[in-house]
Amino acid sequence: MDAQRWKLPAIIAAVILVGGTLAGILWIGANKLEGTPGFFGPAPLIADINLALEILLVAGLTFGFFLARSGNIDAHQYNQTTWVLLNVVLVAFIMAASMQDVRPAKMADFAEARIGITWLHALAGSFTVVSGLWIVLQMNGIVPKRWRIKWWKNLMRATLAGYWIVALGGIATYYFWYVG
């Protein structure tokens, strides 16, 4: 496959998906629509958008894993870069701000399922985001040579597992916030 031929369409798709999501979140915020009813049922709109996009991106990252396995390394690079950046937008513009709703007043508050699960999710999520971002920067030649991780293939596998585990933790978070 001619990698150069796919580079421009891949960049355009990434800009539309990541930029479009960011613009959508900012628009929802500017019009104070975050709290309006969502489309899955009990949760507000912004949580349902987050949930739907996180499920889509974990599926997309998993698809990208198979692209690499089948030798489509350039497609793998473009694909993973897009989903990792989408995740960064969701963390920075939806999830980080929501942490204020689970601020513990005392240590014992972590025993409360909603608070404890959300913090565990946020901790594992932070490691996964940093690791995903590092791999993407290395993949795209932005990390200086001396900082490049040699065992990055194993790091990629562990990070993909991280996205799965954190997304499942996110579903548990959703449950304790809006259902249970």
Binding site for ligand HEM (CB under 6 A): 47, 50-51, 54, 87, 91, 95-96, 98-99, 118, 121-122, 125-126, 128-129, 163, 166-167, 170-171, 173-174, 177
Of residues 85 and 129, the one with the C-beta less far from ligand HEM: 129
The Cα 34–Cα 56 span in angstroms is: 20
Of residues 2 and 171, the one with the C-beta less far from ligand HEM: 171
Of residues 12 and 99, the one with the C-beta less far from ligand HEM: 99
Shortest distance (Å) from residue 124 CB to ligand HEM: 8
Shortest distance (Å) from residue 167 CB to ligand HEM: 4
Nearby residues of 110 by Cβ (< 8 Å), 6 or more positions away: 104, 116, 119
Shortest distance (Å) from residue 6 CB to ligand HEM: 26
Residue nearest to ligand HEM (CB): 170
Shortest distance (Å) from residue 91 CB to ligand HEM: 5
Which amino acid, one-letter code, is at 110? Answer: F
